[in-house]
Amino acid sequence: MLFNSIDFAIFLPIVFLLYWFGANKNLKLQNLLLLVASYVFYAWWDWRFLSLIIFSSAVDYLVGIGLSKTEKHEKRKALLLLSIFVNLGFLGFFKYFNFFSESFAEAFTLLGHPFEASRLNIILPVGISFYTFQTMSYSIDVYRRKMEPTKDAIAFFSFVSFFPQLVAGPIERATNLLPQFFKKRNFEYSLAMDGLRQILWGLFKKMVIADNCAQFVNLAFSNPQDYTASSLAIGVVFFAFQIYGDFSGYSDIAIGTARLFGFNLMKNFSYPYFSRDIAEFWRRWHISLSTWFRDYVYIPLGGSRGSDWLKVRNIFIIFIVSGFWHGANWTFIFWGALNALYFLPLLLLKRNRQHIEVVAKDSFLPSVTDFFKILFTFTITCFAWIFFRANSLSSAFEYISLLFSQSIFEVPNFLALNKMYVLSLLIVGFLMFEWKGRDANYAIENFGKSWPKPLKYVFYYSLAMLIFFFGGKEQAFIYFQF
């Protein structure tokens, strides 16, 4: 069930009305309703995988209870390893079995011992990379005594499967989301309106920006040899906005939807394309995943402490694992390694924390220095996106070769040039809104707050009309495949 589908447009109001008008006086009933709704939402994709998320939830629920009943280090460690083994075992089997099988076969073939790789016809369960990390972090936090385990099965299972963020995040922490299932939730008009506003902005990002960019991106990356260097450059830039609009748009819809039910999810994007270096970019891009790897992988490895060699090792591990999390392809591993190379000079020179505050905090425009820093960071990020988008490393290098072997000043040769120009103007307008609202939770959170109500609704209506006129048929979100 896609957020941008008719199915969801029917599903959401039904759940909303039942939640606030049928179950509003009973917290347990509200949680049970959310659990049932979440399972219906997930089963809509493929009911066969519903048992997988239920089993994964049950394992971590029981691990949490087990951890509360023992103080013995060996038993506690065994319980934690059980959670990690089950969760990563499922993830590894469904997502990475064929990759490792084919990679081993290719390696042995290169060594002169060819054999046929065993390939299974496996369907990747939607959202598995997200909910396994979410439920596993609960067991880790209980093991570390950062939180008390819960015995409320309905609340815990609802936390794991909460439908707004189930299939593509944000990857929530139990310390933030789980306690919200135990607090009485009353309907707040202002909170609901804020949620609807963020949903509207998320739909604009997805359907107007991302989906329209995708048309040109698919052409450029499918047959790069047919296009001029300028077209290929536009393809890369449009992909940068496609993936940002697609993924941050999903996060906006998820956060806004959760707010309709009285929940606050963590911020997942913070205007990453206004970053002044790659370290700042990674503090602003997919925040829930970046902080997950920081807290559960990077810091336990030693973080930025120790010798330069350990710092280099830890950075490469964290970025390569992050790349591999995105997909079972060498392109994602290369993308992660490339970002590690971008990041290392900043870390070794101790300049990775120099841009903490929002850019141009007290002025309308950035300084000349900040502008060129932003431009440089965006450029190297776009270069890395080539590997993320390409189907193989050879395709990525072919794309780069064609991009730099022709004149960049040739006229783009896309057939729909007029549409490309209109889309470019829409992106410029989108960036202007993002820049104006760069210190808010989402771009239009505070936009027009002092306006009269009729003028506000004209603005929202205009956004809705842009979605209606420029949004094509429903398209899946990119991160569903991860």
Active-site residue set: 326
Whole-number Cα distances in Å, 73 to 60, 79, 289: 18, 10, 29
For residue 439, give every residue at least 6 positions away whose Cβ sits within 8 Å of its Cβ, in sequence order, or none: 358, 361
Amino acid at 197: R
Q: What 3-state class would DSSP assign to 10?
A: helix
**Could you tell me the sign of the dihedral formed by the alpha carbons of 65, 70, 74, 75, in that order?**
negative
**Contact assessment for residue 335 and residue 388, using Cβ atoms and an 8 Å cutoff:** yes
Spatial CA neighbour of 156 closest among 215, 228, 68, 288: 68
Residue with token string 């300084």:
367
Residue 294's CB is within 10 A of a number of other CB atoms, namely 14
Spatial CA neighbour of 386 closest among 237, 213, 209: 237
The two structure tokens encoding residue 1? 């069930």
Residue 359 and residue 447: Cα distance in Å, rounded?
19
Q: How far apart are the first and last CA of the chain?
A: 16
**Contact assessment for residue 470 and residue 426, using Cβ atoms and an 8 Å cutoff:** yes
Residue 423 and residue 278: Cα distance in Å, rounded?
27
**Contact assessment for residue 364 and residue 268, using Cβ atoms and an 8 Å cutoff:** no
For Cα atoms 339, 141, 144, give the angle at the middle one, nearest 5 degrees: 105
Residue 461's CB is within 10 A of a number of other CB atoms, namely 10
Residue 309 and residue 297: Cα distance in Å, rounded?
17
